[in-house]
Amino acid sequence: MTGFADLVDLAAGRLGGMVLAANDEFFAEKENLLSPLPPVFEAGRYTDRGKWMDGWETRRRRTPGSDWAVVRLGVPGVVRGVVVDTTHFRGNHPEAFSLEGCAVEGDPPAAEVLADGVRWHELVGRTPLVGDSAQRFAVDDARRVTHVRLVIHPDGGVARLRVQGDPLPDLRRLADRAGGMDLAAVVNGGQVTAASGEFFASRHNLVMVGDSVHMGDGWETRRRRGPGHDWAVVRLAATGVVERVDIDTTHYKGNHPDRCSVEVCTAGGDAVPAEGWRTVVPETRLGPHARHLFGVDDPDPATHVRLNIFPDGGVARLRVRGRVTDDGWRAWGTRWLDVLLREQAETVLRACCASTAWVAGMTARRPFGDFGALTAAADDVWRDLGAADRLEAFAAHPRIGDREGSAWSKQEQSAAAGAGGDTPTRLAAGNRVYEERFGHVFLICATGRSAEEMLADLDRRLGNDPDTELRVAAEEQRKITRIRMEKLVRP
C-alpha cells in the first residue's frame, strides 16, 4: 500500500459510519458528508433555505467560534489520513478545518459522546482549505479512535468526508466461543492490502459487509489480453487456522472468472509476502452469479490469503471462515493495547494488576510490539516497585475462599469456592491469622490449584518472616498478572 489513499474508509456508511451530531446544518444536511456518491451540483435547484448543495453547509457565522460535526466510525481503528472534499463549494467553503478523535466504546448516544468527560485529542491541527477540491491530509497519530469531530473554521460547506485508516475493532467481542469468525471481513479488521488490478471496481468490496447489491459492488479487473492472471491479497484480522472459503460471483454473469485458486501464508508486517504461499483451494471452475463454498483442511496458521482468478473478471465477496490461534490472540491483543488511548490502556491493565505505579509504568512503555515484550515489561516494572506499591496490588484481591471479587477472581478461585468439608472454615480462619501476622491478604496464584493445596500453602507460609513473605506474595502476584494478561487479549 502506498500512503493512506489505498486504505479503508473507516467512516463509510455501509460499515455503520454515521454523523451523530452537528452544531448547525442550516443550508445542507450533515448526513451528506458520508454519502458514498461523488458530490453533484444542480445549478437551478433551490430550497426555502437557499441554494441546494450536496454536502454539509452551515449558516454564515456572526459570532466568534467554529462549526463542527461528530462522526461515529463504522469500524474503530487508527486513522492514517482524511479527505476533506469541498467540491462545488467555491465562495462558501471553510477557511480552514481541524480534526479531533476520541474513543468511546459501545454505541453511546450523541449526548454521551459530547459530554464534558469525553477527552478529544487532535488528529489534524488547524489547516487551510481551498474551495472546489478534494484535499488529502495525512494523520500522524497512532491511537485507536471510535469517533472523529470535523471542525470547520469559522463556517461554510464541505461536500464529503473520508476517514481512511487501519480497522481495529475489539475482536474479543466479535469472535464466537471457539475464537471463530470471518477472518477476512473488514468489520473484523481484515484488509485487502494489494491486488493486481481494480479497474472496474475496488478490491475493498471483496471483504465488505453484507451481500453485493450490483456488479459495481465487488472487485473487478479489466479484460486481460496477455498471459498471466489476476489476484488479490487479504491480510487477515488475526492469525488463524482457515477452515472454509466462500467465493461469491453474484451479479457477475458474463464477466465472472473462469477459474480460481486460494493460497495462504504466514508472514509479519503489512508488505505482501513474496514467498511461503501454500495452496488450500486448488484451481477450480467458477460459475456465474453463484456462491462457491470450499472446505479447507490445513492445520497451519495463516496471516494472509491470496485469491487468484483465471484469467480475470469479477468477484463480489470473499469470506474466510476460521479460528484465531493462541499466537493470533496474543499478537492482536498487543497491537490493540499498543494503540489504545492512555486512559483506556490504564483501565484494562489495572484489571491485571491494581498497583497504580505498575499501571503507569506499563502504559509509559508502549508500544510493546509483541506479546513477549509485553509480558517481559510486566515482570520488569513489577520487579522495580516498592513495598507500598505491591501492597496496593495485593489489596485488590479477595480472600481465598470468598465469593466476592471480579469475574476473573471468581474463576481463579473456583476450586476454593466449591471446597467441601471443613476446608472453607479452615481457610477463613487461616486468612484471619495470616492478615493479623502480615498486614495484607493471603495472596496465591489459585489457577489450577485445589482448595486443600492452597490451605497447605497458607499454613506453610505462616512460618515466614514478614520480608520473606512479602517476596513470596509478590511472586504470586507476578504469576497472577501473567495469567490475566493472557485473559485480557481473548474473548
- The verdict on 103 and 185 lying in the same domain is no
pLDDT mean over 103-107: 92
- The verdict on 153 and 184 lying in the same domain is no
pLDDT of residue 232 exceeding 50, the answer is: yes
- The verdict on 384 and 461 lying in the same domain is yes
CATH code for position 179: 2.60.120.260
| Among candidate residues 159, 193, 146, 166, the one with its CA nearest the CA of residue 79 | 166
**H or E element that contains 347:** helix 342-350
Cα–Cα distance for residue pair 20/24, rounded to 1 Å: 12
How many domains does the chain divide into?
A: 3
1 domain-assigned: no
Please enumerate in sequence order all residues whose Cβ is within 8 A of that of 55, keeping only pairs 6 or more positions apart, or say none. Answer: 28, 32, 33, 39, 85, 86, 87, 88, 89, 157, 158, 159, 160
pLDDT bucket at 403, cuts 50 / 70 / 90: low
- The verdict on 475 and 395 lying in the same domain is yes
| Among candidate residues 67, 5, 70, the one with its CA nearest the CA of residue 31 | 70
- The verdict on 128 and 195 lying in the same domain is no
- The verdict on 159 and 176 lying in the same domain is no
Q: Determine contact, residues 131/86, Cβ cutoff 8 Å.
A: yes
- The verdict on 199 and 91 lying in the same domain is no
pLDDT bucket at 397, cuts 50 / 70 / 90: very high
pLDDT tens by residue, 125-173:
999 999 999 999 999 999 999 999 999 999 999 999 999 999 999 999 9
Cα–Cα distance for residue pair 103/81, rounded to 1 Å: 17
- The verdict on 358 and 233 lying in the same domain is no
CATH code for position 418: 1.10.3330.10
- The verdict on 150 and 87 lying in the same domain is yes
User: Of 188-192, 364-368, 399-403, which gets the smallest average pLDDT?
Assistant: 399-403
- The verdict on 157 and 254 lying in the same domain is no
- Grid coordinates representing 10 are 473507516
pLDDT of residue 216 exceeding 80, the answer is: yes
220 domain-assigned: yes
397 domain-assigned: yes
335 domain-assigned: no
Question: What is the pLDDT, as a whole number, of residue 246?
Answer: 98
pLDDT tens by residue, 315-356:
999 999 999 999 999 999 999 999 999 999 999 999 999 999
Name the residue with higher pLDDT: 49 or 409.
49
Question: What is the pLDDT, as a whole number, of residue 1?
Answer: 38
pLDDT mean over 391-406: 84
- Grid coordinates representing 297 are 483442511
Residue with cell 489547516: 127
State the residue range of the domain holding 192: 172-327
- The verdict on 111 and 85 lying in the same domain is yes
Last residue of a domain, one of 327, 356, 381: 327
* Residue 34 three-state SS: helix
Cα–Cα distance for residue pair 99/90, rounded to 1 Å: 21
336 domain-assigned: no
pLDDT mean over 295-324: 97
pLDDT tens by residue, 54-97:
999 999 999 999 999 999 999 999 999 999 999 999 999 999 99
- The verdict on 59 and 181 lying in the same domain is no
